Structure 1
Amino acid sequence: MPQSLIKSAPLRCPKDFNLAQHMLEGGGAAPDTVAVEVLSTNGVTRWTRAELNRAILGFAAAVQDRGLPPGARVILRLGDTIGFPLAFFGTIAAGYVPVPVSAMLTDVELAPMLRGLAPALVLADQGLSVPDLGVPIMRDDIVEVAQAFAPLPAPTQSAADDLAYILFTSGSGGRAKAVRHAHRAGWARKMMWDGWYGLTPRDRVLHAGAFNWSYTLGTGLTDPVAAGATALLLEGDRSPVRILAALRQSRATIFAAVPGVYRKILALGALPNLPDLRHGLSAGEALPPTLRAEWQRRLGIDIHEALGMTEVSTFLSSSPTHPAPEGTQGFAQPGRTLAVLDDDGIPCPRGTPGLLAIGRDDPGLMLGYDDVSLADDPWFVTSDLVEMREDGAFCYHGRRDDVMTAQGYRVSPTEVEAVLERHSTVTEAAVCEVEVRPGLRLIAAFIRGNVTSTELSEHCTTHLARYKWPRHFQRVDDLPRGATGKLLRRALPALYDPDRSLP
């Protein structure tokens, strides 16, 4: 049996590389082509590449005018408007380090996250509070500021390995971590253009998420603009009804979202024809096979899933030219080196679960967390349990910390959830281990849908080994999710109530 190892020649980034310049070049597209379309409730505003570039460099000049030291960190407490890309890439062009944070977090949540970063400036929208960090706060209209300053002639020079920006992880593991990314991370994203999106300069890409998240920032903004395509920026209301209308009216060709958004759109009932939409993209959490199949059945459009993390972005995926076989997440993107490692750090035989690892020379790999640099090791080992099939496709079994134990066997929560969601009356399912009394733990399933425990047990009989069956089924109105829509597994045990077991 061959090893679970895919070794590729890495996509070498030029030694001198600047992420902002990469964006400004726009894949060589003409200056008068549309880089960003802002879809607001008041209509559509189009930004050509020339207009966007001028505003980014104008904002860079404005930030430099404040006299910050080189490499200063700038907090971005901004909403999802055109001001975000101007501030984010303008800050990089000025030679500083932007740190976007969620507009949904409270000051109490933000303060401990940000104080350790030692920022020099905060850019904040009117109406968004900012914890006391002892630094100036700039609340001016970003578009007006960008237009008021003469633009820099070019972004500040940088090396590929220089620090470009900092993003926070979602915190689904319990604590949000500050991830330091180099300029080369923008170059590395080119592996996704073919390996996941099938992106062309003719595409119009709409993402349903917030820009402070690496998935949205990359897939919904950086990549389409850098590739010469058009990014569709949805301002304001992001309800399923609004998103669906925007997809149709904007003639989007690629749509990106988390699985929950796809599920909510399907729940609307009858859906309009979307003749321009080529395919959807999904990341952030596992895409249930039943959800993908239902989207395909009702719209005739596939969803291509990717597996990734803030520390590297995505690295394995389905794609239009290489769709993921059913029950898998896809294949290693061309240019990536991936392995599935055993407990001794050795690649497993194919078909054997282990920890997913990314080659240390991947240009998209972070510089490190803010307080920890990467170890000098050939692999960056994740906490994701996967197995590689003989055909090279990867199957995701959840995070190592999420894996359950039943009768001495290890059980993947995603496997059990996928089976439960195949039942015709189950809308959504999540499972975890719960402690029912000291020393006794069992698998509990939390269900959205109109179903009985007898029906679910009968369903499990034909799809799961007995030791994998949930011993407690409980109906819930909603599952706990974070700001990015990810399932908060650590919050599931608190839902357990023995008196609310399904009949």
Structure 2
Amino acid sequence: MIVSAHVDTFARDHLPPPEQWPDLRFDLPELRYPDRLNCAAELLAGPDPGRPALHIPGQPSWSYGELRTRVDRLAHLLTGDLGVVPGNRVLLRGPTTPWLVACWLAVLKAGGIAVTVLAQLRPHELSTVCGIAQVRHALCDARFVDDLAKAEAPGLRITPYGGEGPDDLLRLPAPATPFTAVDTAADDVALIAFTSGTTGRPKGCLHFHRDVLAVADTFSKHVLRPGADDVFAGSSPLGFTFGLGGLVVFPLRVGASALLLEQAGPRQLLPAIAAHRVSVLFTAPTAYRTMLAEADGYDLSSLRRCVSAGENLPAATWHAWRERTGLRIVNGIGATELLHIFVSAADDLIRPGTTGIPVPGWQARVQDEHGSPVPDGVPGLLAVRGPVGCRYLADERQREYVRGGWNVTGDTYVREADGYFRYVARADDMIITAGHNVAGPEVEDALLRHPDVLDAAVVGRPDEARGQVVVAYVVLAEGAARDPEALRAFVRSELVPYKCPREIHPVAALPRTATGKLQRFRLRTHGDQG
């Protein structure tokens, strides 16, 4: 390792042992970073100070010059009044606002480690994160301080921002001079991203300064190919790496701008796209389906790139969006462990119903449980490697994720003969019924081809005779008849009979995470959610 700039060595001391790391690949020239690198300084270095950087509905936009000035002021406060030293973990909590972005950049520029969490986390969840990452400093939107103050986090110093109090971060006096970025090593930890997993204790994923740039210099540069005039927007908050990349890292890397929405559901995105001429959109398949139903009356002509991740994109949704907008959704799979998307395709390379091909700079294969590659057309576990790899913070589950130098994502995939990767299911979501393997997403895709079905989830329910039976939950269009037998007949016309759900339950909504990821475990354990 390169000599670290961190005074507080907690993160580096709790990296997995080197023999448990995945193989890292730096095959592209742009991935050969210098030994000394501060990614926040790099992201802020390029554009003309007058260019727009961050847009806020109903408020003046921030220019790059204003963003740099505010980041430097915050960095002075962090290293001065607040006593943050390089390597300290700093919790960041709040909705998606320019000040949250500025705090994130300031923490990294000051050599700290950003631990960005959702504004909606409850006290016990915040206690867990603070305990795992040994957090002692927090910058919190003043509107969300109460739950953080209730968290059991010994020694945590909470500094609010955006409030009226005299101790508010934005009211404290600070030098108006530029802040010289801490001379961090390229492999100093820049952020700890906690998995948005649906069950179990969260895992902290350690990512280096070079990793932040690497996801921009692979997926964004080679698949999205953004320009300085692009306006990015999306539904994912900055506490998830999907949103961090799409709203901060990717636009800043090319001198583009981002629209920041505190509320970014489909009903907020549609008017925002029209009003701010958004050109690059990041959201989940569920949001695209919802927007399809309400897109009439909104001008979406500014869009040129629509990115989908977080869960499988059904071919039916892809075709419906293309028919309505003329745009081809860029599907992709990423992971918190790898920071962002590593298999995808754009433009003429897109094959609806598949995720895509390895992003330049990445390698992917499908292997069996013993780590041996399986032939094309045979389902197996997706394994990837590239410039970023899984490094859990002091967690024994590192051995499960990294096997033989590859990151094994927990997804079942098929590699087609033409090199395209097709999603089958999460490895733990495969339904085995009467000896047959049934992939829930395939049945969901069939249900979504029915004009009355807006959303669908398929799970296995234990059954004494068959092991499991296939059960579906569907959200129907307003006014549609609640006729499960008609839906079963439709699925039988689309798939072989053993894949047809034994039960279909109409429900008002499906349980999802804040990023739109379907929580199938809730349907399996609690039954009908309607």
TM normalised by structure 2 equals 0.86
Q: In the TM superposition, what whole-angstrom CA distance separates every residue of 1:148-176 from its partner, at most 9, and x where no partner exists?
A: 33345321011221111111111224442
The 8 Å contact of residues 198 and 321 in structure 1, kept in 2 or not, is answered as no
For 1:397 and 1:376, how far apart are their aligned partners in 2? 21
Q: Does 1:292 align with 2:318?
A: yes
> Secondary structure, in 3 states, of the residue corresponding to 2:143?
coil
> For residues 20 and 45 of structure 1, what CA distance do their matches in structure 2 show?
23
- 1:421/1:437 Cα in 2 relative to 1: closer, same or farther (>3 Å)? same
Residue 206 (str. 1) matches residue 196 (str. 2): no
Residue aligning to 1:395: 422
Q: By how many angstroms is 1:497 displaced?
A: 5.5
Q: Which among 122, 125, 138 is matched to residue 106 of structure 1?
A: 122
Q: Which residue is equivalent to 2:68?
A: 53
User: How far does residue 31 in structure 1 lie from its aligned partner after superposition?
Assistant: 2.3
Q: Does 1:87 align with 2:103?
A: yes
Equivalent of 2:48, from 25, 30, 35? 30
* Identity across the alignment (%): 31
Q: What does 1:127-142 correspond to in 2, within 5 Å?
A: 127-128=143-144, 129-130=147-148, 131-134=151-154, 135-141=156-162
Distance of aligned partners of 1:457 and 1:364 in 2 relative to their CA distance in 1, 3 Å threshold: same
Q: 1: CA distance between counterparts of 2:305 and 2:197? A: 29
Q: Tell me, in whole angstroms, the C-alpha distance in 2 between the residues paired with 1:402 and 1:266.
A: 28
Deviation at 1:16, TM superposition (A): 2.0
- Is 2:190 the partner of 1:169? no
Shift of 1:495: 4.5
The yes-or-no answer on 1:434 pairing with 2:450 is no
Distance 1:332 1:376, change over 3 A: closer
- Establish whether residue 471 from structure 1 lines up as the match of residue 502 from structure 2: yes
Show CA shifts across 1:86-134 (max 9, x none): 1111011111111011111111222123222211211111131211312
**Deviation of 1:147 (Å):** 7.8
Aligned length: 484
Q: How does 1:228-247 map to 2 (within 5 A)?
A: 228-235=255-262, 237-247=263-273
Matched, 1:123 2:139: yes
Determine if contact 2:473/2:528 at 8 Å carries over to the other structure: no
Deviation at 1:438, TM superposition (A): 8.8
Structure 1 residues 497 and 381: CA distance shift in structure 2, 3 A? closer
Matches within 5 A, 1:278-427: 278-312=304-338, 313-320=340-347, 322-323=349-350, 325-359=351-385, 362-372=386-396, 377-427=404-454
What's the counterpart of residue 35 of structure 2? 15
- Tell me how far 1:415 sits from its aligned partner: 1.0
Distance 1:308 1:50 in 2: 32
- Residue 64 of structure 1: CA displacement? 0.5
The equivalent position to 1:75 in structure 2, one of 91, 94, 97, is 91
Residue matched to 2:514: 483
1:462 counterpart residue number: 493
Q: Distance in 2 between matches of 1:44 and 1:15?
A: 40
Residues 432 and 467, structure 2, Cα contact 8 Å, conserved in 1: no
Instruction: State the alpha-carbon separation in 1 of the partners of residues 517 and 177 from structure 2.
Output: 39
The runs of 5 or more residues in structure 2 that have no matched partner are 1-24, 163-167
- Unaligned 5+ residue runs, structure 1? 1-6
Give the match's secondary structure for 2:494: coil
Going from structure 1 to structure 2, the CA distance change for 1:113 and 1:143 (only over 3 Å counts) comes to closer
Measure, in 1, the Cα distance between the counterparts of 2:172 and 2:256. Answer: 23
1:355-403 CA-partner distances (Å, limit 9, x unpaired): 11112xx222243334356768321111011111111111001211111
User: Hey, what's the Cα distance between the residues in 2 that align with 1:70 and 1:472?
Assistant: 56
Residue 13 of structure 2 aligns with which residue?
none
- Closer, same or farther in 2 for the Cα pair 1:239/1:489, shift >3 Å? closer
CA distance in 2, matches of 1:440, 1:382: 26
For structure 1, which segment, 85-94 or 296-305, has the greater mean C-alpha deviation from structure 2 after superposition?
Answer: 296-305
8 A contact 1:282–1:306 mirrored in 2: yes
The CA distance in 1 between the partners of 2:91 and 2:241, in whole Å, is 15
Please report how far the alpha carbon of residue 483 of structure 1 lies from its aligned counterpart in structure 2 after TM superposition. Answer: 2.2
Deviations 1:448-487 (A, max 9, x none): 1245233223222232222222111111111111222211
- The alpha-carbon deviation at position 406 of structure 1 amounts to 1.3
Separation in 1, partners of 2:373, 2:441: 23
Distance 2:183 2:389 in 1: 21
Asked whether the equivalents of residues 381 and 413 of structure 2 are also in contact (C-alpha less than 8 Å), the reply is: yes
DSSP 3-state at the match of 2:337:
coil
User: 1:191 deviation in Å?
Assistant: 0.6
Q: Note if contact 1:387-1:394 (Cα within 8 Å) is conserved in structure 2.
A: yes
Change (3 A) 1:496 1:164: same
Q: How far apart, in 2, do the equivalents of 1:174 and 1:267 lie?
A: 35
| Richer in helix (by share) | 2
Q: Quick one: which amino acid aligns to residue 271 of structure 2?
A: A
Distance 1:295 1:169 in 2: 29
CA distance in 2, matches of 1:278, 1:146: 42
Partners of 1:31 and 1:497 in 2: how far apart?
54
How large is the Cα RMSD of the aligned pairs?
2.3
Instruction: Give 1:68 deviation, angstroms.
Output: 2.9
CA contact (8 A) 2:290 2:454 kept: no
Contact 1:96–1:164 under 8 Å retained in 2: yes
Q: Deviations over 1:72-94 (max 9, x none)?
A: 11111222111111111101111
User: How far apart, CA to CA, are the structure 2 residues paired with 1:149 and 1:262?
Assistant: 45
Q: Deviations over 1:407-464 (max 9, x none)?
A: 2122211111111111122111111111255985311111112452332232222322
In 2: Cα distance, 1:99 partner to 1:410 partner? 40
Q: Is the 8 A contact 2:108 2:114 kept in 1?
A: yes
Q: Offset at 1:405? A: 0.3
What is the alpha-carbon distance in structure 1 between the residues aligned to residue 115 and residue 528 of structure 2? 40
Matches of 1:482 and 1:270 in 2, distance apart?
A: 27
Structure 2 Cα separation of the partners of residues 173 and 314 of structure 1: 22
Residues 314-334 of structure 1, C-alpha deviations (whole Å, 9 max, x = no match): 1011213522x1211111111
Could you list the per-position Cα deviations for residues 14-53 of structure 1 after superposition, in whole angstroms to 9, with x for gaps in the alignment? 322221122112xx332221122222xxx23222212211
TM value normalised by structure 1: 0.90
SS at match of 1:435: strand
8 A contact 2:140–2:159 mirrored in 1: yes
